[in-house]
Every structure is written in structure tokens, then in C-alpha cells.
Amino acid sequence: MAAITVYFVRHGQTYFNTYRHVQGWSDSPLTQQGILDAQQTGQRLAQIHFDQAYCSDTMRARHTAQMILQANQASALKQPQELTYFREVFFGSYEGMPAQEVWPMVSGEAKLATYPELIQKYTITQLKDRIKATDPTHQAENNAEYWQRTDAGFDYLRQHQRPGSQVLLVSHGAAMSSIVAKYGQGHYDVAQIPRNGAVTKLLVTPETVEVAYYNRVDEGPLS
């Protein structure tokens, strides 16, 4: 049975990205560079026919998806459908805080200052659990909670798209790297968050998810 092809895109750069603030379910607008990110990704995907377009229910993902669709020459879609399943990881009371303050608190005695350092020490799975454990409110998502939501999203795609369909899905960096860490069979460096506007190609089958490529920002058309 043919897979559902998902062009999984990280949103364009936001103001919180430039401030280096933790941004999960919190939101901030695209910067001028973020608008350019979305437009350039739209050009790289302009010849891909999309049977449907989805995005998370954040302003930054919605605006990115809209600009990608505006540039598309192979589909008539104008607006994405919002899906909460593909939100970013939820960081609880750390939302909106400077990352340079959050990561040392999460890492405890290790006092690590960057996300790549945390991933190298804990893995993505362990890091989500640690974020929830150290969040004073304990409202952040742990790994099981994140995957309960995301697995439901993949099931939604399987139920609503025919085999062989091609869809656009605009989502988020930590969500994208989490999916690739689980399904990429160790072939990709997930310690580096995907760049704004980067494309990851997923093949969703009835049984699993396969990664065709990850974090592509190269010039020229993508297939």
C-alpha cells in the first residue's frame, strides 16, 4: 500500500526565536526573516501537488503555511487546516522564559546552557521527562504525553488521507526532531533543532513512519 507523503515544515523565524526564549505552546509573530523563510520554502515546494495542508494551531505555523500555499503552483489550496496534534512540545511554566535560564535549571548539577548539550547528555526522550520533572508546576509534557498526542495525529492522517496522498504539515522544531529521533533509525543528527523553514519528508504507512530526509534547507526545488 502506498504511503502518505508528509512534507513536514518548521515555521519561519519568530521574535521569540531571535530573543532565544522558550517557545512551545506560547506564540510570537514571524519576523521579516521568518516571512522570508516561509516564502523561500514555498518556492522550494512550489511544484509539489498537495492534497491537503495542515498546520498546528499557532499563529506562526498558520502564517507560514499560508505563505507556502500562496507560492504553490500545483495545488488549489489556499488555507491550511489546523490540528492541535502537531503543536510544539509543551514546556509548562518555562514557556516564554529565556533559554539560557531554563536549560541550566533543567540540567541541574550539570548546568548545561544549550539545547544540543542537553540532547547529547539526556536524549530527546529523557529530556522531555526531565523538563516535566523540573518544571515547578509539573505541567510540561513528558515523553509519554507528547507521544500520546502525536501518535493520535498520525492516526488522524491515516484516517483522513488516501494512500498515495501528499500533504503539507507546518509544525515545530522540537516536534520534528522528536519524530525523527524515533523513526529515523539513527541516521540523522537530532541534537540540532531544524532550521526555520526546513523541510523534513515523512512517509506515513499503516504500520509506521519512515523518514525520507530531514532538515532540508537547500536551494532549488524539493521532491
Residues flagged as binding site? 10-17, 60
Annotated binding site for substrate: 10-17, 60
Distance CA 154, CA 210 (A): 12
* Helix-then-strand count for the chain, H and E: 7, 6
Report CA Rg, the chain. Answer: 17
Query: How many CB atoms are closer than 10 A to CB 161?
Result: 18
The sheet with strand 4-10 has its strands ordered as 81-82, 52-55, 166-171, 4-10, 199-204, 209-216
d(CA 66, CA 47): 16
Helix or strand or coil: residue 191?
Answer: coil
For 170, the enclosing helix (H) or strand (E) is: strand 166-171
Phi and psi torsions of 45, nearest 5°: -105, 10
Active site residue 88: yes
Exactly one of 11, 21, 63, 172 is catalytic; which is it? 11
Q: Compute the distance between CA of residue 33 and CA of residue 112 in angstroms, rounded to an integer.
A: 29
Q: In degrees, to the nearest 5, what angle opens at C-alpha 190 toward C-alphas 186 and 191?
A: 125
Annotated catalytic residue, options 21, 88, 141, 172 = 88
Q: Which residues are catalytic?
A: 11, 88
